[in-house]
Amino acid sequence: MAFQLPAEVLGDAVGVLVFSFFALICSGLMVWLVWSHQERTSYVAGLAYLTLLSTASSIVSQFHDFVLYNDVMTAQWQYARAHPESPEIKISNGAIGLDLGLWYFRQYAYSAESLLVVFWAFSLMQSVYELTNRYRLKEFLNRMNSIGRIMSVVLPILTICLLRVQAVQKSTAAFFFLANVVLMISLAFGSLCMVAIFVRYVYTRGRVVQQSRTEDSSTNATTQGGSTLKFKGIYDRWLLTRFTIAFIVLSVFELTNIIFQLNGIENSNDDSKMEQPDLSVERAHENIVLFLPGPAPSYLLFIVFGTTAQCRKYIATTFLPKSWQRKKETPLDLPFHSTHSVPRASLSNSIKGLRMSAFHTTGSTSDSPNNITDNSLSQIPIPDKVAITFLRRELSTSDDDGVELPVMRPSNSV
């Protein structure tokens, strides 16, 4: 069956569908990553499950609306005319039947995602302030975190059920409030947690800088915001940075979702006053664009949390052909040049160190590792042989005070 959409917007519809399918792939990859790294009950896992399901529901709605566009718009217009005061129709942009059920599910998913993010922010704040290191608070906070995950799933169900109460169905303000109360509370409380984390980070950063100036030494820390964070599975030392980016973008998404609801109220009011359904190209284009924000969190989740070193390596190992992986690890691809210039004396020391390594490796009985000749290079591991040859050439041909030192990939050769 051909799409009933106007021909002028068929390209837009295909583009939105492709965008949504790629988002579905991103969510699927995140679900695979969290299961592979034994993070199946983590906050990222919960977000991955919800984004996968919400994106899938959006794709179902798109196919339904695009294929039966004229029928859907006519049915929505007839219902809006018969129920002009229904807040359910207004805020869902006229959705009825299958579309309305899928809209309720996506509303639940967005609310649950927002709660997961805010409880995750609360958990990170505990780590930043080292609250879990205090014996009296540790057990209490662990229980709070467990309860928070359960509330993230249960509380949105309660609010969605309340939307079906008859009294709420008669009030647009009450319906709008209940539909977005979880999003607004999450945004407010999550912002407070992020501010607290930022304040702690700035305070600790200032102390580290001051201490480094006093001691005239650099401090290498494995902390963020002044407290030790344990990184495992899909996480890395940039966890707080990644989470901050995700929180900001998700906050924008939540605000955008509310704006689209207000736009739906306006469209529903217009439909109830029309003598026939609006099948114009402009309205069709607007309805298509309204599907874009829904799959967006899937991209965000993968870009922010699916690009850690652990995840990139796991994806490459799984999906890249074995021949590419072997080529990538071949020492003959070395050396790579850096932009840092070093004195010739450093190059001499580098050769001496590599010769010493080769001396012990080959088991030479010569009096000195300097006795290693070009013929004996055949017994030296390939990475050291490449480096010795390269450095020797650089010393003999360069007239500059500094030369380019190759950046060698670490070798496990023995």
* CB 306, CB 34: distance < 8 Å: no
Question: What pLDDT is attached to residue 207?
Answer: 67
Cα–Cα distance for residue pair 181/159, rounded to 1 Å: 8
**Across the strands, what pairs with 406?**
337
Q: Summarize pLDDT for 184-218 with one digit per residue, the tens.
A: 888 889 888 888 888 887 777 666 556 656 654 44
Residue 127's nearest CA partner among 116, 137, 113, 117 is: 137
**Across the strands, what pairs with 404?**
341
Contacts of 6 (CB under 8 A, 6+ apart): 279, 281, 284
* CB 212, CB 140: distance < 8 Å: no
Is 163 a residue whose pLDDT tops 70? Answer: yes
Q: Considering the chain, what percentage of its residues have pLDDT values greater than 90? A: 23
What domains, with CATH codes, occur in the chain?
A: 7-319 (1.20.1070.10), 332-407 (no CATH)
> What one-letter code names the amino acid at 54?
S
Q: Provide the mean pLDDT of the chain.
A: 76
Cα–Cα distance for residue pair 108/111, rounded to 1 Å: 5
> What is the 8-class DSSP label of residue 221?
-
Question: What pLDDT is attached to residue 380?
Answer: 47
Question: What pLDDT is attached to residue 59?
Answer: 95
Question: What pLDDT is attached to residue 299?
Answer: 92
Is 367 a residue whose pLDDT tops 70? Answer: no
- pLDDT-derived band of residue 331, with 50, 70 and 90 as boundaries? very low
Is 311 a residue whose pLDDT tops 80? Answer: yes
Question: What pLDDT is attached to residue 334?
Answer: 41
Cβ atoms within 10 Å, residue 104: 19
Mean pLDDT of the region 151-172: 91
Cα–Cα distance for residue pair 100/92, rounded to 1 Å: 7
Is 351 a residue whose pLDDT tops 70? Answer: no
Q: Which helix (H) or strand (E) holds 330?
A: none
Distances (CA, A) of 287 to 49, 94, 291: 26, 11, 7
> What one-letter code names the amino acid at 333?
D
Contacts of 96 (CB under 8 A, 6+ apart): 75, 76, 79, 89
Mean pLDDT of the region 160-180: 90
Q: Is 361 exposed, middle or buried (0-12, 13-18, 19+ CB in 10 A)?
A: middle
Question: What pLDDT is attached to residue 244?
Answer: 81
Question: What pLDDT is attached to residue 229?
Answer: 46
Contacts of 393 (CB under 8 A, 6+ apart): none
Residue 46's nearest CA partner among 122, 203, 153 is: 153
Assigned token pair, 207: 């102390």
CA torsion sign, 4 to 5 to 8 to 12?
A: negative
Helices (runs of H) and strands (runs of E) counted in the chain: 15, 4
Q: Which helix (H) or strand (E) holds 123?
A: helix 98-128
Residue scoring higher pLDDT (59 or 260)? 59
Distances (CA, A) of 270 to 77, 121, 160, 266, 278: 10, 41, 26, 6, 9
Q: Which helix (H) or strand (E) holds 16?
A: helix 10-36
- pTM for this entry: 0.69
Contacts of 52 (CB under 8 A, 6+ apart): 24, 27, 28, 30, 31, 298
Question: What pLDDT is attached to residue 53?
Answer: 95
Q: Summarize pLDDT for 393-404 with one digit per residue, the tens.
A: 544 444 444 333
Give me the phi and psi of 102, to 5 degrees please.
Answer: -70, -35
Q: Summarize pLDDT for 55-84 with one digit per residue, the tens.
A: 999 999 999 999 999 999 999 888 888 888
Question: What pLDDT is attached to residue 22?
Answer: 96
Question: What pLDDT is attached to residue 389?
Answer: 54
Q: Is 180 exposed, middle or buried (0-12, 13-18, 19+ CB in 10 A)?
A: buried
* CB 197, CB 124: distance < 8 Å: yes
| Angle between the N-to-C axes of helices 10-36 and 296-305, in degrees from 0 to 180, rounded to the nearest 10 | 40
| Angle between the N-to-C axes of helices 239-273 and 172-215, in degrees from 0 to 180, rounded to the nearest 10 | 160
Q: Considering the chain, what percentage of its residues have pLDDT values greater than 70? A: 70
